[in-house]
Amino acid sequence: MKIEELKNFKHIPEEELDRGSLIDISTIDVRCDLPPKERMEEVLEKMKNPFAFKVGKYVVKTTFDYEEGCTIGDCVDALLIL
């Protein structure tokens, strides 16, 4: 996934999200044998939009504060460790 795609996803207003097309992250299988960078790329590819997704019947819209020094990659890495 390219940086420009991520930037576009970040700025989609909540009311414009197509809830039917959001991925339920509880259905994503991640290959734990991959190195962290490849694992992150696989997750981003499967999620389609890391800023908006479903968990069961709930829609989650996330934001990342780059001012704090945490990149989206850092956040995804942290999620994969859980």
For residue 63, give both structure tokens: 């934001």
* Res. 24 pLDDT band, cuts 50 70 90: very high
Average pLDDT over residues 43-51: 85
Q: Kindly state the tokens that stand for 79.
A: 């999620």
C-beta separation of 33 from 26 below 8 A: no
Q: Which residues lie below 8 Å from residue 14, measured CB to CB, with a gap of 6+?
A: 52, 61
pLDDT, residue 65, reads: 58
**pLDDT for 47 beyond 60:** yes
The domain limits of the chain are 3-81
In the predicted structure, residue 48 carries a pLDDT above the cut 70: yes
Predicted pLDDT at 19:
84
